[in-house]
Amino acid sequence: MSHLLFSSSSVLAGYWRDALGEALRCEHLPEPPQERDATLWLDLASLNAAERDADWPRLCQCYRVVALSSAPNDAEGMRWLQLGAAGYAHAYAGADELRQIAASVDAGGTWLGRSLLLQLCRRFGALVPPDEHADWRERVSSREAEVIAILKQGRSNKEIARELDITERTVKAHLTAIFQKFGVEDRLQLLLKLTEPTH
């Protein structure tokens, strides 16, 4: 996968290049390619007025766009996800996190910050039918159902552990088992799956 770095800051672009390895810095927004084989790392602070008004839904179809903000917030993150971005994160995230973002996005996934992820879990969790009316309930243990009930509220692993008086490691084990049962990779995919009429 190729990585294109769009930032007016040579320091920031250099930091991204050090974390990601081989990457090409762009002075201007690149023209859309014929095939979606590149990830565009986008420094939101570098966008001028015309670039902010670009056809981002189209560009997000042409590139896997990772929108990076020096002051991330959930509203901005939600806007970029709605435009089609494959990721939203802090522009100065650690090198390990940048590599995790790259791996996730290159594999076709979406990268969200923790706060935004939990907000989306609350939103989709509210659409999941109550346990007593859900056919998915038969596929999980009673403890796994308790984990799902708290997960639907957009709560973190630590909060789930505290509420159920178990360790975070046990919560992760329950989530892993649940994800396997439903053939999903993460909590957001799980909640989306549980909103479906039949499973």
CATH number, position 133 = 1.10.10.10
> pLDDT value at position 16?
95
Domain assignment of residue 178, given as a range: 118-194
User: H/E/C letters for each residue in the chain?
Assistant: CEEEEECCCHHHHHHHHHHHCCCEEECCCCCCCCCCCEEEEEEHHHCCHHHHCCCHHHHHHHCEEEEEECCCCHHHHHHHHHHCCCEEEECCCCHHHHHHHHHHHHCCCCECCHHHHHHHHHHHHCCCCCHHHCHHHHHCCHHHHHHHHHHCCCCCHHHHHHHHCCCHHHHHHHHHHHHHHHCCCCHHHHHHHHCCCCC
Residue ranges of the chain with pLDDT lower than 70? 33-36, 131-133, 197-199
Cβ-based burial of 195 (10 A; exposed 0-12, middle 13-18, buried ≥19) = middle
Of 112, 127, 144, which closes a domain?
112
Last residue of a domain, one of 112, 131, 153: 112
Same domain, 122 and 108: no
Whether 100 is in a domain gets the answer: yes
Reported pTM: 0.72
Domain count, the chain: 2
Reported as a single tens digit per residue, the pLDDT across 63-101 is 999 999 999 998 899 899 889 999 999 999 999 999 999
CATH number of the domain bearing residue 94: 3.40.50.2300
Asked if 46 and 9 count as a contact pair (C-beta separation under 8 A), the reply is yes
Q: Return the pLDDT at 86.
A: 92
